Amino acid sequence: MKIFYDLFRIFFIGICAVAMVLQTKAVFGLPLEPGILEGFIFGGTIFGYHFTHPERHFRVIAFGAGAAGALCFVAWARSFHLVLIAAFPVLFWLAYYGFRRPGNRVGLRTWAQAKPLTVATAWAWVTVLLPLPTDMWVLAIPVFLTRAAFVYALALAYDFSDMDYDRLKGLSTLAQSMEASSNFSLINWALVLSGVFVALGYFTGVYTSSHVMLICLSLGFSAWFIHFILKKSAWHAFHKTLIDALLPFQSLLILLLR
């Protein structure tokens, strides 16, 4: 049974990333059929999250997914322009690990304030900007900010769940520097800020009123759900998967609208 859950965990984070890409396409009225870009993002996300996992089968699958993602990248990045815009999230990832072999005390992951910001920016870049032509990027700013604030809240929830592990490994996180109530307050404020950016997107003509309603519904549910699951210590092994599930949940609402 464990092996099946492990396989699900490995591939689920890639599914989450692709789901957010499809949400972006749906918002901007682009074709939803997954292509080689989604293959690159799927494989790259799995690799980025699991290539340092202590269990060997996680690492083997991560490197396999990374190789497949690299092949998709070669097929997709047919110009220097595309290589350049794809390089930014790679730089975020390298900075996260300190541009060296991953360790416990290197990179932005050791800087409490920078870690969730780095994760949020990388996710927003990959799932909002990469699927869009660059001439749409200015129009996409509210969507980028909406996504970044949402992922920032989820990154904070990750760190709250991982506090004991991070202390054991000598990693300092923002979650450790605050009381539990302050952590939940900051998560809620990040979700509120995401809602503010949704409203900005409505007034700039990016989001429709239906988009606003459904995304705000997902944000409100996320605030309740994060608080609910993180209070369940017996569910600790499933915390990250359940937090990740909020990404495709939001996307599914938007895709059902279309």
CA–CA distance, 163 with 229 (Å, rounded to integer): 15
- What is the reported pLDDT for 135? 94
- What is the reported pLDDT for 20? 98
Q: Output the six-digit token pair for 161.
A: 């769940």
Burial of 100 (0-12, 13-18, 19+ CB in 10 A): exposed
Q: Angle, to 10 degrees, between the axis of helix 180-203 and the axis of helix 141-161? A: 170
Contact 105, 169 (CB under 8 A): no
| Long-range contacts of 161-164, Cβ-Cβ distance < 8 Å, separation of 24 or more | 161/230, 161/236, 161/239, 161/240, 161/243
User: Which secondary-structure segment (H or E) carries 254?
Assistant: helix 246-257
Q: What is the pTM of this model?
A: 0.91
CA–CA distance, 246 with 237 (Å, rounded to integer): 17
- What is the reported pLDDT for 164? 67
Q: What is the 3-state secondary structure (H, E, C) of 208-226?
A: CHHHHHHHHHHHHHHHHHH
Query: In order along the chain (258 residues), what is the average pLDDT of each group of 10 residues?
Result: 77 96 96 93 92 82 93 88 84 66 55 80 95 95 98 93 70 74 92 98 96 97 96 86 96 90
- What is the reported pLDDT for 84? 85
Read off the pLDDT of residues 61-99 as tens digits, 9 standing for 90 and up: 999 999 999 999 999 988 878 888 888 877 777 776 654
What DSSP state is assigned to residue 166?
H
C-alpha distance from residue 121 to each of 90, 96, 128, 145, 195 (Å): 11, 12, 10, 9, 17
Q: What is the 3-state secondary structure (H, E, C) of 44-64?
A: HHHHHHHCCCCCHHHHHHHHH
- What is the reported pLDDT for 93? 74
Largest CA distance in the chain: 49
Contact 208, 189 (CB under 8 A): no
Read off the pLDDT of residues 14-43 as tens digits, 9 standing for 90 and up: 999 999 999 999 999 999 988 999 999 999
CA–CA distance, 250 with 216 (Å, rounded to integer): 9
